[in-house]
Amino acid sequence: MSESKCPFHGSTTTPNLGTQNKDWWPNQLNLDILRQHDTKSNPLANFDYKKEVKNLDIEAVKNDIKTVLRDSQDWWPADYGHYGPFFIRMTWHAAGTYRTGDGRGGAATGAQRFAPLNSWPDNGNLDKARRLLWPVKEKYGNLLSWADLLVLAGNVAIEDMGGPNHGTALGREDIWHPEKDIYWGDEDEWLGDNRYGKTRQDLENPLAAVQMGLIYVNPQGPNANPDPALSAQDVRETFKRMAMNDEETVALTAGGHTFGKAHGAGDEALVGPEPESEAIEAQGFGWLSSHKSGKGVDTITSGIEGPWTTNPIQWDMGYLTLLFKYEWECKKSPAGAWQWHPVNCTEEDMVPQVDGSDEKVLPMMTTADMSMKVDPEYRKICERFLENPDAFGEAFARAWFKLLHRDMGPKSNYVAGDFKDVEYIWQDPVAAGKVLSDNEEKAVRAELANSGLTQQQMIETAWASASTFRGSDNRGGANGARIRLEPQKNWEVNNPSQLASVLEVYERIAADKGASIADIIVIGGAVGIEMASGTKVEVTTGRGDATQENTDINSFELLKPKACGFRNYSEKEFAVSPEEIMLDKAQLLGLNPVEMTVLVGGLRALGVSHSGDGIWTDGKLDNSWFKELLSMDIKWYTSGYNSYNGVDRATGESVRTASRTDLVFGSNSELRAIGEVYAQDDNNEKFVKDFIAAWNKVMNADRFDLN
């Protein structure tokens, strides 16, 4: 290679500048999702935000945001002299990426600052909203994360425009690079929709948007087909995947569109590229428009043009009133987008132009808005809200609060803020449990050791309970002991018959010793490991027991593992490999590659395998599993889907079986390198120590009072 062709000799920054491993081996297991958000990328690695945000003067911040709301900037003028609707859209689009399928997305990380979200078509011009807020972020610095500010700004905007609001909980910590674990779809073009099966409702899991680069639905209708009835189907499915029922969906739609306008003043071809594609001199600004001034009345964002209500910066009943007052006809916006205009609109319902001029414009509705009127169930709710504005306001406040906080998990993560002290079932409430004294815990351990339960039964029960946790939205986990409730107690992966017999013993011990069943489950796992290792496993008690009444069955059903590599379980054959599913689960549990490796090796050594594969040792917690895996005495052969036979090279005898989630620790070079460390003769003690540490990390993942 000539010197002029390649001016540097280090690592390439752009994949097409050099052939990468993934180019040679596209099916290679990529462990990067377990290594993201390292301290090396975090300029505040030693800063305890959850502690320090308690020192923030939230009222002072809110006042500063209110100043920004009315301080219109010439470089991006405020519609109607108030940035409130703009900030509400920013907040909505930060939170609205959340989906229940895997708990990923949402506002909890400040991810809207990074690709791909910062450049999604649906987020057009929100780069300007964040720049408008920079003076506030600059002033309060480390005490206020971007993640919290993006949420708080929308709430302050609603409050400032007279809307109902249940406040903001703070405690969201920023990330510092794009999330690598979130699957947004496999389309290779914006607004592509290669995500459906045979029907419109057969939307690929865990996705919750109808097209690539949208938050929920196309406002023009499915693939820009202006059919309100079909649009209602899209709205219902996508909002359901955001954990919203019909009433919440209507409240959010009607309440959110009470404010502001859509922008489609001219030809979309005049709009420049998104932020990530812009030239360096644009400094992160995207969608720069050459249509007249490119801003204010000339703004092009969604392509839809016009306000929803007569008073776009005031909370009122205008949206629902206009929606039902008029018949609406389908028209094209100046940008060529389908939208709806009122037939024979009266002068009193005309809307002032955004620049404060004497010009008046027609209100409009999108096809998605029209679905609120056309769909029978949505219409009933709309009519009820029209009759009772107070009920509408309260429903909006509750749904909006849920939208912004669903991915924060339990209320224990609300470390500061001005939120109403109301408890909702979607917060997965669990009352605090009793912290056992040393003597009380010692008595529980003795009872468990003499209960007749095997170490495997106790370990499997503890893992089944705790491993439901997912760090994406802080749901699941051992606290609450929901494994004894519907739906978890009947999941096949949890071996229901064995689970029932174990829980019967645990309930008796809990009642006898005055401990929570949740603590008994975790202590039982510790006792099982101690029996297998001879090493003490510490437990921090204080977990509480949830009730069936404060457990949302439908919501918790979404935590059900369809496959679990840690337990060698799979309910069927999937298009995605078992090891990739295991990797995804490890990321949701907050594990790094070393922790994943040591947990799988340890669980197999302890006899944990739903299929029976991968059990090669005598049940002791030691490094023998890794030694067996790496032994050259065994040759492996495929015997079926996710099934392998190990044959003794000397005798030809079939001596063991394995799954892909066993053998990947020997086949993948990175995982093998970790496994070799633990297989060494001098690292058995290290293996036991590291296993227990990783085990306790999972057991305590939902102990937000400790973390």
**Residue-by-residue DSSP string for 179-234:** -SS----S-SSTT----B-SSTT-BPTT--SSSTT-SS--TTSGGG---HHHHHHH
Record the pTM: 0.95
Name residue 341's beta-bridge partners. Answer: 329
Name the token pair of 244. 């919203």
Closest CA to 529 of 690, 677, 704: 690
Q: Where are the alpha helices (DSSP H) in 616-702?
A: 624-630, 660-667, 669-679, 684-699
Rounded Cα distance, 72 and 625, in Å: 66
Rounded Cα distance, 149 and 136, in Å: 9
**What's the pLDDT score for residue 14?**
57
What size, in residues, is the chain?
707
**What's the pLDDT score for residue 6?**
47
DSSP 8-state symbol, 162 = T
Name residue 169's beta-bridge partners. Answer: 417
Name the token pair of 235. 């709205």
Contact 675, 512 (CB under 8 A): no
Taking the mean position of all CA atoms in its chain, how far away is CA 487? 21
Report, as residue numbers or ranges, the catalytic residues.
93
Question: What is the residue whose two structure tokens read 């108030």?
Answer: 82
Cα pseudo-dihedral 568, 574, 580, 582, rounded to 10 = -30
Rounded Cα distance, 651 and 684, in Å: 29
Name residue 331's beta-bridge partners. Answer: 339
Rounded Cα distance, 136 and 159, in Å: 18
Closest CA to 609 of 647, 565, 577: 565
pLDDT, averaged per 10 consecutive residues of the chain (707 residues), comes to 46 64 90 93 95 98 98 98 98 98 97 98 98 98 98 98 98 97 96 93 95 98 97 98 98 98 98 97 97 98 98 98 98 98 98 94 98 98 98 98 97 96 94 96 97 97 98 97 98 97 98 97 98 97 97 96 96 93 97 98 98 96 98 96 96 97 98 98 98 98 90
Closest CA to 479 of 519, 424, 524, 506: 519
Name the token pair of 88. 């509400």
Contact 65, 136 (CB under 8 A): yes
Contact 100, 243 (CB under 8 A): yes
